[in-house]
Amino acid sequence: MQVENAIQTINLTKTFKSKIQTSETKFYNRTTVSVNAIDNLNLEINKGELFGLLGPNGAGKTTLVKMLCTLLPPDSGTALINGYDIVKEQMKVKRSLGTLFSVGERGFFWRLNGYRNLEFFASIYNVPRPKRQERILEVLKLVGLENSAFELYQKYSGGMKRKLALARTLLPDPPVILLDEPTTGLDVISSRNVREFVKSTVLETGKTVLYTTHYIEEAAQICTRIGILKQGRIVACDTPDALRHKIKNEEIIYLVVEEIVQDQINKISSLRGVIGISERTDQELMPNQKGLCVELESVDQLPSIFDFLFKQKIKLVNFKREEPTLEDAFIELTKRA
């Protein structure tokens, strides 16, 4: 069955030209350099997917979001939002999208309260008049601002402003939502609230979300798939689990054992399926204990290790399977590309 895409980029390209000073002393010695912000990008995001876009600063995340919401015209290629072309069908694209910019507080009116701000945006986003009030109260409740709806925007905290920006994004009930670094500048609790809210919104309403961030674990927690962007190109794209294992296929287990000698450690390293073994000294252990990191070809080799320990009468105090982190994967994959 063919899966319909909510977002699809087709050879999308954007190059910026900027002048840089080539002499430390002569400000007029300048040369023009071209930077490929988005480089021939092909990306497909399914309907109902919460897709994370990870990338270091300057990778092109915000540029991509701005192109998808029609703010930046592409140099070549195009993208489809909900089936509409971002170059040829801009108005239809705008009607299908809700966009939260990384600095989402700029368009609000400081002397109006939260409700009145949303009332204004509801009108320009064509929310039908009879449903307007109900919808505003609904989104305010969704983001947890129902009790502060009639407070002046200028009195809102940073977290509340972000939530109101999120409410504005959801106001027209768009099928596709672009969230550009939605938790930047938020405290831990507010960030978690936003993440949980985004995840539940996708699950409950079937919306498609493109979520850009440079917080790796944030993407790992909520996204169904993650794309890693570097210099305008997707260098890896998969589920968080698959990305973790993209850099290392082997299993790493951590063992804490008692009364083991070097000869026994050497014997473990020569067991079938054991790639390597190393002693870890960063954990607090009793004087008769040792912490060992064992790299295995696969988890199937575990019984032979336990069997060896049992036969050698080595007491196993602790055992932990160590997963490669998404951060490891991110650093490795962006380094490789």
Partner 1 sequence: MTVLDELEKIWYFMKRDMISFSTYKTNIAILFLTAVFGALSFAYLGSNASMQSVLKLYGESLTTYIIIGLAFSTYLTQSLTLVQKTINPWALEEVLVSPTGLSTFIVGSSIWSFIWSTGTVVIYLVIGVFVFGIPLSINILGTIIVVALGISAFIGFSMIGSGILILTKQGDPVSALITIATSLFGNVLFPPQVLPPLLQTIAYVLPQYYFFKCIRLMLTGSTIQMILPELEILALMCAIIVPLGYAIYAVCLKTARKNGTLSWF
Chain residues that interact with partner 1, rule: CB under 8 A: 14, 16-17, 37, 63, 66, 69-73, 91, 94-95, 97, 99, 101, 103, 106-107, 121, 124-126
Q: How far is the CB of 103 from partner 1 (least distance, A)?
A: 8
Q: How far is the CB of 90 from partner 1 (least distance, A)?
A: 9
Alpha-carbon gap, residue 233 to 36, rounded angstroms = 9
Q: Give the nearer residue to partner 1 in terms of CB position, either 113 or 169.
A: 169
Q: Give the nearer residue to partner 1 in terms of CB position, either 6 or 37.
A: 37
Q: Count CA atoms within 13 Å of residue 36 on its CB side.
A: 14
Q: How far is the CB of 92 from partner 1 (least distance, A)?
A: 9
- Is residue 254 a contact partner of residue 320, using CB atoms and an 8 Å limit? yes
Q: Is 206 exposed, middle or buried (0-12, 13-18, 19+ CB in 10 A)?
A: exposed
Q: Give the nearer residue to partner 1 in terms of CB position, either 95 or 248.
A: 95
Q: Give the nearer residue to partner 1 in terms of CB position, either 124 or 189.
A: 124
Q: How far is the CB of 108 from partner 1 (least distance, A)?
A: 9
Q: Helix, strand, or coil here: 147? A: helix
DSSP-derived secondary structure letter, 324: P
Q: How far is the CB of 229 from partner 1 (least distance, A)?
A: 16
Q: Give the nearer residue to partner 1 in terms of CB position, either 73 or 206.
A: 73
Query: Quick one: CA dihedral 65, 71, 75, 78, positive or negative?
Result: positive
Q: How far is the CB of 294 from partner 1 (least distance, A)?
A: 50
Q: Give the nearer residue to partner 1 in terms of CB position, either 129 or 272.
A: 129
Listed in sequence order, the residues at least 6 apart from 111 whose beta carbon sits closer than 8 Å to its beta carbon are 152, 153, 154
- Is residue 226 a contact partner of residue 54, using CB atoms and an 8 Å limit? yes
Listed in sequence order, the residues at least 6 apart from 313 whose beta carbon sits closer than 8 Å to its beta carbon are none
DSSP-derived secondary structure letter, 255: E
Do the strands 50-54 and 225-230 form a parallel or antiparallel pair, or are they unpaired?
parallel
Do the strands 76-81 and 84-85 form a parallel or antiparallel pair, or are they unpaired?
antiparallel
